[in-house]
Structure 1
Amino acid sequence: MNVADVWQRVIGTQPDPPRWLVLGAAGLALLAILPHPVWRLSRNVVTIAHEGGHGLVALLTRRRLDGIRLHSDTSGLTISSGKPTGLGMVLTAAAGYTAPPLLGLGGAALLSAHRITALLWISIALLAAMLIMIRNAFGVLSVVLTGAAFLLISWYGGSQLQAAFAYLGAWFLLLAGVRPVVELQAKRRQGGARDSDADQLARLTGVGAVLWVTLFLVIALACLLAGGSWLLA
């Protein structure tokens, strides 16, 4: 396959996969987030999306992005510099927990428009851009392995395998966007996570951290409802 063929596939449309494949992908996504041992591994993908959201919005609000770190305990850190208060800082702090479900919603929109290959290659491009800003070895390994999976599936996989992988990714981000928010509030209720995104936003805006957690949850559930309906349409 030459570059022209690849480009035509990226900008072109692909046929809808069978119904069983869409439902099977949803089932696998649930299995990836419900059992705790599996979640400890799959949550690394959510961390990539979470920190990538912080980084992207920091750049969009003209803050300087200094680096991103991903850790083996599924935590992460995005460091940006600029004005420590104001709208840019608020949007950057709010982008973490909202990024996974919003990315899932964007993926569902592409899939509902029959753009399976486009979804795979947009994902590769975003991961490649994020890799430039990773500042630790585990982070590099996580992003490279995730990007390699997308690249291998998009280049060598058949049409059904590509569709299954794309739908699995969209379902996973939509479903997995909810659990970290619930876990965040559970930790806060137990007296932990006092430097979380919600608590930072509370200090920046004067709006209570619980209200920010509620907003994160509403966005995640709204994305799941809308994106799920598109995927099942």
Structure 2
Amino acid sequence: MSLTQGVLDAQTAPAQWIVIATAVAALAAVLPRPIWRLSRNAITIAHEGGHGLAALVTGRRLQSIRLHSDTSGLTVSRGRPTGLGMILTAAAGYTAAPLLGLGGAALLGSGRVTLLLWLATALLVAMLVMVRNAYGVFTVLLTGGVFLLVSWLTGPDVQSVFAYAVVWFLLLGGVRPAFELQAKRRHGGAPDSDADQLGRLTHVPPALWLLFFHAVSICSLIGGGRWLLGV
């Protein structure tokens, strides 16, 4: 069997209790604040990666990505300061993790566990090229290394559990940042957030952009959860 066939082959879905257990494990990584301070780094990788990918797709010049130990990040791209490309780039951050989770759920729903793991690894490698600070390089290397080790050194059962846990984490963890941003803005914080930038770019109130972020993350969780649970 060729490598391509192995990656594209479908695997049998795990037992329902395993799917539910991975959801509970992912929820445990999202809800408690002390754990979330650490696990949120993975959501930041998706967030900044979303900005970067949108910049490239819309023809902007991606210059750098930085990830910080306080789970913040910064993606810098060059191009027109206004227009559709800039709007899509700004909107891609808070929607990236939920949409990645939704796409991952679609792949798992069709049994493509190995394909999901290799696609995730490829995206992390591509992102690593643009990371420009030591902490960012460390976190992306660590995350990519985990995916690579699971893909190469473990069997189908372990790969399946890992993939389901990752996708549940993206879906569940993708919901919380928009609520955190909403709380910061309520208290006068984050004056240059993605929602505020989008408000200036589109003349649509930032509160409506926050509502958009909430809608994308919650709808992705509902849709992705149904695929993962097979309902």
Query: Equivalent residue of 2:64, what SS?
Result: strand
Residue 40 of structure 1 aligns with which residue? 37
What whole-Å deviation, never above 9, does each CA across 1:45-67 have from its counterpart, x for those lacking one?
Answer: 00000000000000000000001
Q: Could you tell me which amino acid in structure 1 is paired with residue 143 of structure 2?
A: T
Counterpart among 187, 191, 194 of residue 190 in structure 1? 187
Residue 92 of structure 1: SS of its match in structure 2?
Answer: helix
How far did 1:8 drift? 2.1
Extract unaligned runs of 5+ from structure 2.
none
* 1:30 and 2:30 aligned: no
Separation (CA, whole Å) in 2 of partners of 1:6 and 1:187: 47
Render the CA deviation track for 1:106-153: whole Å, top value 9, x for unaligned: 000000010000000000000000000000000000000000000101
CA shift at 1:16, angstroms? 1.1
Q: Mapping of 1:1-233 within 5 angstroms? A: 5-233=2-230
Distance in 1 between the 2:179 and 2:8 partners? 38
C-alpha deviations, 1:36-88, integer Å up to 9, x for none?
Answer: 00000000000000000000000000000001000000000000000000000
Residue 62 of structure 2 aligns to a residue whose secondary structure is strand
**1:7: Cα distance to partner?**
2.6
Distance 1:38 1:154 in 2: 25
Distance 1:72 1:79 in 2: 18
Q: Which amino acid aligns with 2:41?
A: N
- AA in 1 matched with 2:25: L
Question: In the TM superposition, what is the alpha-carbon distance from 1:187 to its structure 2 partner?
Answer: 0.2
1:22 and 1:6 map into 2 onto residues whose CA distance is 27
Equivalent residue letter for 1:147: G
Supply the distance in 1 between the matched residues of 2:226 and 2:156 (Cα, whole angstroms): 23
The percentage of counterpart residues that share the same residue type is 63
Task: Please state whether the residue corresponding to 1:17 is helix, strand or coil.
Answer: coil
Tell which deviates more after alignment, 15-24 or 135-144.
15-24
Q: Secondary structure at the match of 1:68?
A: strand
Matched residue count: 230
Report deviation, 1:159.
Answer: 1.3
For the residue of structure 2 that corresponds to 1:41, the secondary structure is helix
SS of residue paired to 1:111? helix
Q: Distance in 1 between matches of 2:163 and 2:172?
A: 14
In structure 2, what is the Cα distance between the partners aligned to 1:60 and 1:8?
29
> TM-score, structure 1 length as denominator?
0.97
1-side partners of 2:57 and 2:94: how far apart? 17
